[in-house]
Amino acid sequence: MKKTISMMMALAVAGTMAAPAMAVNDEPMVIAPAPNTQSQQAQMKIVVKGKTMPVQTISVNGCTMAPVRVIAEALGFKVTWNADRSININNGKMQSDLRIGDNSYVVYTAVEGMAGMSAPFELGSAPVIKNNTAYVPIDLFVPLFGNDPATVKTSGDTITINPDAKTEDGDSSQIPNLLTAHDSLAELAKTVGFDIKAPTVPAGYEADAYIDISGELAEVFYMKGDDTLVYRVSRGEGDNSGDYNTYSNKKTVDVNGVSVELRGKDKVNVATWSNGGFAYSVSAKQGISETEVAAVVSSAF
């Protein structure tokens, strides 16, 4: 449980953050022009680990944007264009999937066998393409490196990115903690303000961590060896799984009158459904069967 909790706490992310760029000849063409809200801004000098980067910045909605590949790679990230035209940046510890035109960001663990993801958050702008180069808000590196605001600092016309920087005493209140660990399902339910029934999970899985995200979403981690199953409940409707992967198989089934969307490969990796004013999801890294999904759904009410 301690391993899961420590990873989840590293994912406590909030409000204002950013990332870097891509070159013309080594990226696929993406037809997504930058929004008309781009404005002229004095060029900012970006210094990464003491080295000045050979990049130009742009401003969108007053947000300073920088090219992803150059800066991310300087910080130790691998930058990958995916088939769905999203951009993954991954340093082996943390990662994020960026989508052109989508001002919704999530950071999540890149550690094999671990599960953990921030709640979605917005920055000053969505990623944009300009002259075949992808730009993202520079503040994205704050949550990717633990959410300490000292990671990205602006002084005059210079932006300094230092993953090892630490906030001075007295400034830590700037760092909101979205994720809170609890000792039991009952304690978690009390915090989010609604009842949570323990789901019937596949044999061998044991509850490992009880987490609330911003006091609104309940998340329970179940472990079986190196495999992780995540069960989520929140008020409202829609997909609250936080899983943005593209799966080869997708279909909808009926479980006791409830419409359940299944996504996965050979097995079900993600199942989402809504009922009685609440949204539910179960995610399994190695996948579970449709029968096992039905058991989870049936036990949720």
pLDDT of amino acid 298: 97
CA–CA gap between residue 139 and residue 128 (Å, rounded) = 15
Residue 210 sits in the same domain as residue 159: no
Residue 30 sits in the same domain as residue 161: yes
Residue 83 sits in the same domain as residue 147: yes
Domain boundary among 174, 200, 226: 174
CA–CA gap between residue 37 and residue 17 (Å, rounded) = 19
Residue 164 sits in the same domain as residue 44: yes
Residue 196 sits in the same domain as residue 293: yes
Residue with tokens 């730009």: 135
pLDDT digits (tens, 9 = 90+) for 130-140: 999 999 999 99
DSSP string, 258-301: EEEEEEESSSEEEEEEEETTEEEEEEEEEEE-HHHHHHHHHHT-
pLDDT of amino acid 113: 58
CATH code of 196's domain: 3.30.200
CA–CA gap between residue 91 and residue 263 (Å, rounded) = 27
Residue 196 sits in the same domain as residue 70: no
Residue 17 sits in the same domain as residue 45: yes
Residue 279 sits in the same domain as residue 236: yes
Distance, first Cα to last Cα, the chain: 26
DSSP lists the bridge partners of residue 134 as 129
Residue 169 sits in the same domain as residue 205: no
Token digits of residue 255: 């479980």
User: Which strand ranges, in their side-by-side order, compose the sheet holding 78-81?
Assistant: 78-81, 86-90, 94-99, 107-109
Residue 131 sits in the same domain as residue 205: no
pLDDT of amino acid 75: 96
The model carries a pTM of 0.54
**Residue in 4, 5, 3 with CA at minimum distance from that of residue 180:** 5
CATH code of 114's domain: 3.30.457.10
pLDDT of amino acid 247: 86
pLDDT of amino acid 1: 52
Q: Give the count of domains, the chain.
A: 2
Amino acid found at 300? A
pLDDT of amino acid 42: 66
Residue 170 sits in the same domain as residue 200: no
Domain boundary among 174, 199, 215: 174
Which domain does 108 fall in, by range?
A: 2-174
pLDDT of amino acid 119: 67
Residue 76 sits in the same domain as residue 207: no
Regions in the chain scoring below 50 on pLDDT: 2-3, 5-7, 9-36, 170-177
